[in-house]
Amino acid sequence: MIPLDPLPNLIDQVYARILEAITDRTLPPGHRIRQNELADKLGVSRQPVSHALHLLHRQGLVAESGRRGFEVTRLDPERIGQLYEVRGAIDALAARLAAERARTDSSGRAQLEAALQAGRTMDENTPLARLIALDVDFHRAIYRLAGNPAIEEMIAPQWPHMRRSMATVLAELDYRESAWTEHETIAAQIFAGNAKAAEAAALAHAQTAGRMTEERLRATDKAA
């Protein structure tokens, strides 16, 4: 048997690059995607671009537009609110379990401490894509410390949509600071082993993020 290439194949790389552009709004909602133009920018043929776009279409990140064309889908405020409602319950569970394991799982605790420390390095010049990555890393560290793989497995398919919604509020300087203040609170309760307090803080954080995102999206739609 021929050994597999350990590096991502071309379709995966194209998919990741387009997803990043959708997330950080380089390709904004409603943007018409021209496959030839995109292939030229990425320095690849149309075939991997076409395959990547069909994967994104299945996830609801792009929609068919015209003959064999695609456009970036718009974020639905109601749908985002629903996702955050579910995420709040999952994040609350993860934080409670993480607090219960914080004193016995040194590796998981170290990962959460590292994610928290990385977030402290951000400032007003930090690119939006980096802010989103730091936010995701923080929450994933909690999921791992929780010790239940099913948590991350359930939330993973929704991360592309969550990343897009994060961009809506993380683009605002005030929310960047308050979001990480809330992260600090969640982490402090986890490190102290306060399961109920960690659960409550995680739920409140998700509810605040969901409410603010939904409000911003509705305001944008109204102004359009």
Instruction: Tell the burial category of 148 from Cβ atoms under 10 Å away from its Cβ (0-12, 13-18, 19+).
Output: middle
- Pairing relationship of beta strands 70-72 and 32-33 according to DSSP bridges: antiparallel
Q: What is the pLDDT of residue 117?
A: 95
Instruction: Give the C-alpha separation, 141 to 24, whole Å.
Output: 22
Taking CA atoms, 75 is separated from 163, 177, 219, in Å, by 11, 24, 12
Domains of the chain listed by start with CATH number: 10-72 (1.10.10.10), 77-223 (1.20.120.530)
The CA-based angle 210-215-216, given to 5 degrees, is: 100
* pLDDT values of the chain reduced to their tens digit, one per residue, 224 residues: 555 455 568 899 999 999 999 988 889 999 999 999 999 999 988 998 999 999 999 999 999 987 768 999 999 999 999 999 999 999 999 999 999 999 999 999 999 999 999 999 988 888 888 999 999 999 999 999 999 999 999 999 999 999 998 888 887 767 888 899 999 999 999 999 999 999 999 999 999 999 999 998 888 777 76
Torsion of CA 7, 63, 217, 211, to 10 degrees: -60
Q: What is the pLDDT of residue 172?
A: 75
Instruction: Give the C-alpha separation, 204 to 224, whole Å.
Output: 30
Return the residue matching tokens 């803080």.
201
Cβ atoms of residues 56 and 15 within 8 Å: yes
Residue spans of alpha helices (H) in 25-172: 35-42, 46-58, 77-101, 106-119, 128-146, 149-155, 159-170
Q: What is the pLDDT of residue 173?
A: 66
Q: What is the pLDDT of residue 63?
A: 94
Collapsing DSSP to helix, strand or coil, 123 comes out as coil
Instruction: Give the C-alpha separation, 166 to 98, whole Å.
Output: 23
Q: What is the pLDDT of residue 169?
A: 84
Q: Could you tell me the strand order of the sheet in which 62-64 lies?
A: 32-33, 70-72, 62-64
Q: What is the pLDDT of residue 80?
A: 92
Instruction: Tell the burial category of 7 from Cβ atoms under 10 Å away from its Cβ (0-12, 13-18, 19+).
Output: exposed
Which tokens go with 135?
Answer: 């936010």
